[in-house]
């Protein structure tokens, strides 16, 4: 999930644009987590404003992703936008999110988002009924995970070039109709539009079907957007309605793994995301002070015949993959803290061990000599 290159920044004057940006730090379970924030001009604690949390893709960072454009109209639209920084994944050594996929990190990102929302409420009086999450690529997958994990805190999501992780597709239950705006590309090689064989990641179509089923939507309207730019890309907006909450799919025909923006493309993703978010209100938002998840501690080794696992919390299941994503062995035994998975005739390779520990997904590399 490649780092997003935000070419739009080249067209923007740097004079005064970033005057209200600042970098902040929060402690989450003893780990310092950073985020970049933009406050609308003249903001006081007497003004309650919406919050947009924007999550970067794998290998990207909060500094680069903050150039995506929300700050350009936050002053007039009156919202706070924040750009959290993901921690490195043990598997790929790049910034990532604990989003349920094999290459996700093992960080307590749910705890981070809870603490982030609480902190911004205390500092800046955000409107807890208007907290929104968007993201690109791995950040888009994490946006879906947050809708599943803390739906009581999120009013709507807008994932761009992302989908539900396979575990979340099977287990997600937000407990209410959930407004979702998706932007996916038909020739995306990293997040397939139609069902394809991708370890631990569903397709855009499967995710779209899930949210429509969750919301009981029965009607759809397709609008072909004007093809004004010579970019070889056309866009169809498919609006699903009839149930408890809308689901919009912006189908980016012949586009790849990319965030569309004007004047290069026919639509501007950032603008459309805010237009979708601005009237979505959570019917019963949670108050501040949710308990953080504590990141589990796991150790493992290979003894020549078995993969040996130990954890400080209960393990609900284990899957072992090779580096090509092939499942080698799976255990569905529940509630143990130590186990052995027999695996013979392997040598001189790297394995990926994925576990569900105390309800949190943990994935680590294991070298076999």
Q: The CATH number of the domain where 348 resides is what?
A: 2.60.40.3080
pLDDT band at 72 (very low <50, low <70, confident <90, very high): very high
pLDDT tens for each residue of 95-114: 999 999 989 999 999 999 99
Nearest to 189 by CA among 256, 283, 237: 256
State the pLDDT at residue 267.
97
**Residue 116 belongs to some domain of the structure:** yes
Q: Are residues 210 and 357 in the same domain?
A: no
Q: Are residues 200 and 314 in the same domain?
A: no
pLDDT tens for each residue of 148-200: 999 999 999 999 999 999 999 999 999 999 999 999 999 999 999 998 777 89
Q: In whole angstroms, give the CA distance from residue 240 to residue 36.
A: 34
State the pLDDT at residue 215.
98
Phi, psi (degrees; rounded to nearest 5) at 35: -150, 150
Residues contacting 42, CB < 8 A, separation 6+: none
Number of domains in the chain: 2
**Residue 337 belongs to some domain of the structure:** yes
**Residue 293 belongs to some domain of the structure:** no
**Residue 203 belongs to some domain of the structure:** yes
- Cβ contact 247:182 at 8 Å: yes
Nearest to 114 by CA among 23, 48, 28, 34: 28
CB-count exposure of residue 237 (10 Å: 0-12, 13-18, 19+): middle
Q: Are residues 219 and 308 in the same domain?
A: no
User: Looking at residue 100, which CATH number applies to its domain?
Assistant: 3.40.50.1820
Q: Helices (DSSP H) in the chain: which residue ranges? A: 62-65, 71-77, 109-124, 138-149, 166-171, 204-215, 269-277
Report in angstroms the alpha-carbon separations of 257 from 161, 184, 297, 339: 6, 8, 34, 39
Q: Helices (DSSP H) in 90-203: which residue ranges? A: 109-124, 138-149, 166-171
Q: Are residues 328 and 214 in the same domain?
A: no
State the pLDDT at residue 48.
95
Residues contacting 61, CB < 8 A, separation 6+: 85, 95
State the pLDDT at residue 357.
81
**Residue 345 belongs to some domain of the structure:** yes
State the pLDDT at residue 295.
62
Terminal-to-terminal C-alpha distance of the chain: 29
Q: Give CA torsion, residues 116, 364, 202, 7, to 10 deg.
A: 60
State the pLDDT at residue 294.
57
**Residue 81 belongs to some domain of the structure:** yes
Q: Are residues 116 and 249 in the same domain?
A: yes
Q: Find the mean pLDDT for residues 252-272.
A: 97
Which residue reads 């299941």 in tokens? 317
- Cβ contact 22:36 at 8 Å: yes
Q: Are residues 101 and 192 in the same domain?
A: yes
State the pLDDT at residue 324.
65
Q: Is the dihedral of CA 333, 334, 340, 341 positive or negative?
A: positive
Q: Are residues 306 and 269 in the same domain?
A: no
What is the H or E stretch that residue 355 is in?
strand 349-357
Q: Are residues 234 and 311 in the same domain?
A: no
Residue 291 DSSP label: P
**Residue 317 belongs to some domain of the structure:** yes
Q: What is the pTM of this model?
A: 0.83
Q: Are residues 102 and 133 in the same domain?
A: yes
Report in angstroms the alpha-carbon separations of 11 from 6, 14, 130, 262: 10, 9, 30, 11
Q: Which domain holds residue 313?
A: 298-368
C-alpha 99 chain-centroid distance = 6
State the pLDDT at residue 11.
31
**Residue 266: HSE in the Cβ half-sphere, 13 Å Cα cutoff:** 20
Q: In whole angstroms, give the CA distance from residue 57 to residue 99.
A: 11
Q: Are residues 19 and 132 in the same domain?
A: yes
Give yes or no for residue 369 having a pLDDT over 90. Answer: no
Cα angle 224, 226, 229; round to 5: 130
């Amino acid at each position: 999930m490649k780092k997003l290159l935000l070419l739009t920044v080249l067209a923007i004057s740097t004079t005064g644009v970033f005057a209200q940006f600042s970098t902040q730090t929060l402690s989450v379970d003893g780990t310092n987590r950073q985020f970049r924030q933009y406050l609308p001009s003249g903001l006081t604690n007497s003004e309650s404003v919406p919050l947009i949390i924007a999550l970067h893709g794998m290998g990207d960072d909060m500094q680069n992703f903050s150039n995506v454009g929300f700050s350009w109209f936050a002053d007039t639209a009156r919202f706070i936008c924040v750009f959290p920084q993901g921690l490195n994944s043990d598997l790929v050594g790049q910034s990532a999110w604990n989003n349920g996929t094999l290459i996700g990190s093992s960080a307590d990102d749910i705890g981070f988002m809870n603490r982030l929302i609480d902190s911004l409420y205390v500092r800046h009086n955000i409107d807890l009924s208007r907290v929104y999450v968007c993201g690109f690529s791995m950040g888009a997958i994490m946006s879906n995970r947050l809708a599943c994990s803390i739906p009581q805190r999120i009013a709507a999501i807008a994932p761009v070039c992302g989908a539900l992780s396979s575990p979340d597709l099977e287990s997600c239950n937000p407990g209410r109709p959930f407004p979702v705006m998706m932007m996916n590309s038909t020739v995306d090689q990293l997040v397939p539009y139609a069902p394809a064989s991708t370890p631990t990641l569903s397709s855009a179509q499967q995710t779209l079907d899930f949210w429509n089923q969750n919301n009981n939507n029965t009607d759809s309207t397709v609008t072909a957007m004007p093809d004004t730019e010579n970019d070889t890309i056309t866009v169809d907006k498919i609006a699903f309605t009839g149930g408890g909450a809308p689901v919009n799919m912006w189908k980016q025909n012949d586009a790849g793994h990319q965030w569309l923006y004007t004047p290069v493309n026919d639509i501007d993703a950032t603008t459309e995301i805010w237009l979708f978010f601005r009237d979505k209100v959570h019917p019963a938002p949670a108050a501040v002070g949710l308990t953080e998840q504590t990141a589990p501690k796991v150790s493992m080794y290979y003894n020549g015949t078995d993969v040996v696992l130990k954890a400080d919390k209960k393990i609900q299941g284990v899957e072992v993959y090779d580096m090509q994503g092939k499942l080698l062995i799976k255990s569905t035994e529940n509630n143990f803290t130590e186990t052995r998975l027999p695996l013979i005739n392997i040598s001189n390779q790297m394995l990926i061990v994925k576990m569900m520990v105390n309800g949190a997904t943990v994935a680590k590399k294991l070298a076999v000599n």
